[in-house]
Amino acid sequence: MRLLPAVFAAAAIAASCERCAAPPGAAGGTMVIAATGDADVLLPPVTSLTTGINVSDLLFCRLAELKLGLNTIDDSGFRPVLARSWEHPDSLTIVFRLDPRARWQDGAPVTAADVAYTFRVYRDPAVNAPLAPFLAAIDTVTAADSLTAVFRFRRWYPEQLYDATYHMRILPRHLLDTIPAARLATAPFARAPVGDGPYRFVSWRTGAEITLAGDTAFFLGRPGLDRLIWRIVPELPSAVSQLLAGEADAMEVIPARGQLERVQQARNVRLVPYASPFYGAIVFNLRRPPFADREVRRAVAMAVDRQTVVRSVFGPFADVAAGAVSPMQWIWSDSIRQLPFDTAAAARMLDQRGWRRTAGGARGRAGTPLRFTLLVPTSSQWRQQAAVIVQDEMRRLGVELHIEPVEFTVMERRTTSGDFDAALVSRTTDPSPASVLQWWSPGAGANIGGFADSAFQALTATALRARTRAEAAPRWRRVLERLNDEAPAVFLVSPRNEAAIGTRFADVTIRPDSWLATVTEWRVAGDRGAAGR
């Protein structure tokens, strides 16, 4: 027992050494990022887990990057990265001129042949890249010379530059083209990649840590932080404890209200809000009763007090959703027309459809009670809490709502096979307004409710042809308002993303679609040395 204090004292000294490993004001410095999941692979075409995407984004560059405004239509919304410039010689072609300074981390130059190879990899069915469908409008990518890549499109549309640059991170052909496409994901390269980005791969201890080092030779300038380390801790409370104990410096998002309040009280960490790419919604299955009936859907939507749901579950950390749009998207607006919260009108609508209250207060029609089952994933605390509030609101409307908590994979299986009445889902958007189509266009695999509306399709087609952001914005608004009117879902909530960042870091800005996109500009407070690099 006498040994115990000595052991604890030694431990405390060691712990304090860790915390002072990168003191404020020192050049460079290390940022430890708490992550709740490990990476899968570090090869952009096949990486699908959040940490894998975050890490590989810093290892591999795009031809051009979106600026903070996330304007996906105009060329002015992009800044050059691997491509020094680009031009549109005709409506179906974009020609990219590569920056001759760009190098792979083994010293080889980045060439147009790499760009053409990358396109082939992403489109190869053997690779099975999740983002391949987004490249369907690109017909060919060829290398006109070593520094000129030519993209040919099948048709004209305003987001050609976005599709050409956003979905692909350029790969080193000279290191990969001897590997069969089907084996790329399992190749050693996918776990220890050689990139062309601002950070170099250092190590990956599975389930524990991934370490990157700033590339001092990066052609666009050395990043402000010398090392980035992802520390994997699956449990959210433990990950937050790491932040509060000073063992980690940053976390992409604190998704639970209770944990946010813990971080708010900390002195060594601050919350940095940024627009969320998510919205939460109760999606109806339109292929079966009762939600095949538009008026029933609208009545149910109008009986949900979304403001109460959001305040009760999220407190100040979320907003009522404006529709099938996330706050990150440039088409988002809080003035998009929505169905009102009006329980009296909702009751009248159900009465008119023959769903009348019975003696017990529940609604029914021809002996059939008006009831539905709501699938909720057990992994999501907020969705389970919201479901209970909605259940109470439905009870007051005379609608019987049965909550069925299921595992995430079970929920996905059931919703994609159409085996559900309603499901409380979280939807991720990308910066393009066209991502509305991923979830709501007829034939889209993720359109789980089977929504199909000719007016919606016509409005979408019009919006997709708009040449400028000013022209497109009102058209997309009409698309979203049509969706709200048709009520294929109750668009409930847009959570506000809150990153946790150590107070010792300065110049922190966050691009909402990719929280570390600007990390090259972050630095330890007091270190201005990297500013001029």
Partner 1 sequence: MLRFVARRLAFAVVSVAAVVLVTFLLVHAAPGAPMLGTPETIASPEVVARQRALFGLDRPLPEQLLRYAVNLARGRLGESFVLHRPVADVLAEAVPNTLLLGGTALLASLLLGLAAAAAQAARHHTRTDTVLGVVTLVFYSVPVFWLGLVLLLVFGEHLHWLPVAGMTSAAIHDRLPPLGRALDVARHLVLPAASLALVQAAAFARFQRAALLETLAAAHIRSARARGLPERAILLRHALRGALAPTITLAGLSVPYFLAGSVLIESIFGWPGLGRVTYDAIFARDYNVITAAALVAGVLVALGNLAADVAVAVADPRIRVDR
Restricting to residues 128-147, which ones interact with partner 1 according to CB under 8 A?
128, 130, 132-133
Binding mask 361-390 for partner 1 (x = CB under 8 A): ----------------x-xx----------
Answer yes or no whether residue 409 interacts with partner 1 by CB under 8 A. yes
Q: Which of 25, 48, 69, 144 binds partner 1 (CB under 8 A)?
A: 48
Helical H runs in 442-503?
Answer: 454-464, 469-486
Which tokens is 225 given? 């932080």
Residues 164-193 that bind partner 1 (CB under 8 A): 182, 185-186, 190-191
8 A C-beta contact, residue 405 and residue 381: no
C-alpha span between 53 and 47 (Å, rounded) = 6
- Residue 206 CB, shortest distance to partner 1, in Å, is 5
Binding mask 197-226 for partner 1 (x = CB under 8 A): ------x-xxxxx-x---------------
- Residue 314 CB, shortest distance to partner 1, in Å, is 17
Closest CA to 330 of 475, 503, 185, 157: 475
Of 287 and 413, CB closest to partner 1: 413
- Residue 364 CB, shortest distance to partner 1, in Å, is 31
What SS3 class is residue 413? helix
- Residue 488 CB, shortest distance to partner 1, in Å, is 17
Binding mask 223-252 for partner 1 (x = CB under 8 A): ----x-x-xxxxx-xxx-xx-xxxxx----
Answer yes or no whether residue 161 interacts with partner 1 by CB under 8 A. no
Of 160 and 242, CB closest to partner 1: 242
Of 238 and 368, CB closest to partner 1: 238
8 A C-beta contact, residue 341 and residue 307: yes
Q: What is the DSSP string of 221-251?
A: ---S-SEEEEEE--SHHHHHHHHHTTS--EE
Of 335 and 417, CB closest to partner 1: 417
Which tokens is 140 given? 């060919």
Of 70 and 349, CB closest to partner 1: 70
For residue 251, give the amino acid letter.
M
- Residue 217 CB, shortest distance to partner 1, in Å, is 22
C-alpha span between 93 and 479 (Å, rounded) = 29
- Residue 237 CB, shortest distance to partner 1, in Å, is 7
Largest CA distance in the chain: 81
8 A C-beta contact, residue 376 and residue 403: yes
C-alpha span between 100 and 221 (Å, rounded) = 14
Closest CA to 184 of 195, 143, 63, 193: 193
- Residue 43 CB, shortest distance to partner 1, in Å, is 9
Answer yes or no whether residue 14 interacts with partner 1 by CB under 8 A. yes
For residue 299, give the amino acid letter.
A
Residues 429-468 that bind partner 1 (CB under 8 A): 445-446
- Residue 196 CB, shortest distance to partner 1, in Å, is 22
Element (H, E) at 395: helix 381-397
Of 71 and 428, CB closest to partner 1: 428
Which tokens is 447 given? 């359109």
Of 373 and 428, CB closest to partner 1: 428
Strand partners, 493: 280, 320
Residues 54-83 that bind partner 1 (CB under 8 A): none
C-alpha span between 211 and 249 (Å, rounded) = 14
Which tokens is 364 given? 């029914």
Of 336 and 500, CB closest to partner 1: 500
- Residue 300 CB, shortest distance to partner 1, in Å, is 24
Q: Which stretch binds partner 1 (CB under 8 A): 41-49, 72-80, 112-120, 326-334?
A: 41-49
Cα dihedral sign for 354, 360, 366, 370?
Answer: positive
Answer yes or no whether residue 273 interacts with partner 1 by CB under 8 A. no
Of 73 and 321, CB closest to partner 1: 321
Count of residues touching partner 1 (by CB under 8 A): 71
- Residue 421 CB, shortest distance to partner 1, in Å, is 17
Q: What is the DSSP string of 402-446?
A: EEEEE-HHHHHHHHHTT--SEEEEEEE--SSTTHHHHHHSTT-TT
